[in-house]
Chain A
């Protein structure tokens, strides 16, 4: 004797009946139907929770597990091979190693005389191998360009969802910390010191450990601290989008032109006419000091720009 079902509409038999009559497809809820992907920029990739659940819950669960296992095994193998290889490498700090050859010898013995820089590392990266360093500065430049493409928020006038949200948040002062007295007073003392220290590192790059990259990072950190303490209104009085552009453009152009001149004269065996000065003096070692200043400016601007772009999509 069969039970009388109270929800006949949901029973299996009713579904088959519907299917035969052609009213409803039994696969409707189980099958993932994708609409054709269109190239409309307004639509985003949509991963609904349902579809995600379905994929992870069934077969893919096992595939994923196997995949994870395989990745772990692969990484462990790679690490083992690398560590095993280390045992065959030249011993660390041994005088007979291949790296202690005529290249480093000349950097150390003649570096002072040829570049005028007391700090050999700076002499190496900004004179002997200056082309690589120019490439590195361009890496920084192009990464800020990419972050700008991704995060810079340009259409501030239009009434879009993003803009409404931004105004709401701005009124809430979520972007900017509340006027924190401790932070403000401490940064009043610290920021000038950090700036002076950064400038010192940059200007003494050819004399003592330091240089454009490290000094620029210190100045960038100072700028970010100032921004956190006093908010965008205050920093925008001296650092805007325009300032950023002018500084990056002029620093990179100067680097590019100065180094091109130096490369050109060097390759064609011409006298460059740039005085090396007395080693040890602040105004010495030819182009290294101005190049350090350029690199420092670029690094400081890049750090600040990253922070500002990630925080509110602009300066």
Chain B
């Protein structure tokens, strides 16, 4: 056993511990500890990824002195290592880029609390990725939910608090359904750890006893986690939540939090229920239909928005729809496409939210469509980042969005009934995406009309001290997007390898 097997545990505990000490520090030190922690966790996760790829193995890690069905356990394979590395990278970039706004949006005495929330959220994301135990999954879902609420309301204005209440109500319904699902599953299997629970599930399928509760369990868990990740009919909290939080929080919420729940759901599908058994229950068809509706309705909602951030938030609904559509296809290829789209969306949405925040600063905090006219000339880098992000979301070749759309289209080939629906939805959704994203791009690059000066001022001197960090983050995110777009075959290889280990 190599020492590296300890690293998943180290990264979870480190994130929690830094959250605990940050509560007693001031804002500046909390920031330093948070960034240091994220850096170390990034390194540790990369080591885990390297180790699992190199040896081609997966490992379980006993949390305590007692083996699997008695004690808690975490597990790491290629997929877990990769997701942990990727999520930490996005988290670090989002926090770095939002630093300036964090210090101006949050009351000075409460800045450290924001970093406590970031630390705890990181730990919960890591635990949701690595967990091999259903109840551990639930506990960290709770931590994630509460941390998210804190992040939404930390600006302490009316919009934020209203959005937090909405989020909390919806999210608690989701948690509740998920908890009922887990309890029922425990009642019929007698196990909380994933591997023994899987054996019991096979037993249930073969004997046919308790089939009805088992179906209800699948439904409750899927819908519970679906609500929490913002699947279409339960998406009403998304625009407010993402639209009014501080930019770093918006980026973290849309690119990581909802994805964490999806990863947990995929993990439960594969490791507890079994993908084949799932396919027979038709719950996947329901997810597929919800996904398709989300792809179209989310985009239509986005077209109606005037505020750029709310527009991007509504677009998230559509992107979550893509992911669920891929899962709903019920094939290995569809699942890989969904996982790839999780990466795409995480990288791109963070980029869009952060660049829009910079664009707003360039027009002195105005948020409506008309004030953003021509802003791309004032803050060139942010404008360019927004352009790249929009193109990626629309599906421009070489960028990651194109690749994930291509994967979805080719994955649909394997399923004869769902093929035409998928293609139609992809075409319609892409057209709608292009409508609102390119309209915004054209707007921010509009030339000032005759006799109209460029509105607002934007001088170099007035920029915050974080401009350099912002620039660095923008370039890093653009690079990440290009990497996902151009070297997608390596990434997909990793994802396939990870899925086959599940």
Q: Which residues of chain A have a CB within 8 Å of any CB of chain B? A: 36-46, 81-82, 85, 88-90, 97-104, 106-107, 114, 127-132, 134-136, 138-139, 141-143, 145-146, 148-150, 152, 154-155, 245-246, 248-249, 252-253, 256-257, 260, 262-268, 272
Contact = CB atoms under 8 A, between A and B. Distances in A.
19 contacts: A36-B368, A38-B367, A90-B188, A101-B190, A130-B72, A136-B139, A138-B19, A138-B120, A142-B117, A149-B153, A154-B110, A155-B109, A245-B24, A249-B23, A256-B16, A262-B65, A266-B66, A268-B1, A272-B65
A45 B117 contact: no
Contacts of A37: 159, 307, 367
Contacts of A138: 16, 19, 120, 123, 143
Contact of B190 (A88, A103, A127): A103
Contacts of B270: none
6 tightest Cβ-Cβ pairs between the two chains A and B: A44-B158, A135-B139, A266-B65, A98-B190, A45-B158, A131-B72
A128 B156 CA distance: 41
A103 B70 contact: yes
Contacts of B479: none
Interface stretch (B38-46, B144-152, B338-346, B403-411): B144-152
A139 B146 contact: yes
A107 B191 CA distance: 13
Interface string B126-137: 010000010110
A263 B143 contact: no
Interface of B: 1, 5-6, 9, 13, 16-17, 19-21, 23-24, 61-66, 69-72, 105, 107, 109-110, 113, 116-117, 120, 123, 127, 133, 135-136, 139-140, 142-143, 146-147, 149-150, 153-159, 161-162, 180, 184, 186-191, 200, 210-213, 216, 244, 306-307, 360, 365-368
Given A141-B20, A268-B6, A89 B210 contact: yes
A71 B123 CA distance: 36
A39 B156 CA distance: 11
Given A38-B367, A249-B20, A45 B159 contact: yes
A267 B157 contact: no
A39 B117 CA distance: 23
A107 B70 contact: yes
Given A150-B161, A267-B64, 10 more contacts: A39-B157, A45-B158, A45-B159, A89-B210, A132-B136, A142-B117, A142-B120, A150-B153, A152-B109, A245-B24
Residue with the highest number of chain A CB atoms closer than 10 Å, among B1, B150, B155, B161: B150
Nearest to B68: A103
Contacts of A266: 62-66, 71
A149 B139 contact: no
B135 A154 contact: no
Given A128-B66, A268-B6, A103 B191 contact: yes
A118 to B, nearest CB: 18
A52 B355 CA distance: 36
B24 A148 contact: no
A139 to B, nearest CB: 5
Contact of B110 (A81, A90, A135, A152): A152
A268 B7 CA distance: 12
Given A44-B157, A103-B190, A253-B21, A127 B64 contact: yes
A61 B117 CA distance: 40
Nearest to A78: B177
A142 B19 CA distance: 9
Contacts of B110: 148-149, 152, 154
B23 A139 contact: no
A219 B212 CA distance: 45
Nearest to A154: B109
Contacts of B16: 134, 138, 256
A85 B13 contact: no
B499 to A, nearest CB: 26
B365 A249 contact: no
A131 B142 contact: no
A41 B156 contact: yes
Contacts of B107: 154-155
A135 B65 contact: no
Contacts of A101: 190-191
B199 to A, nearest CB: 11
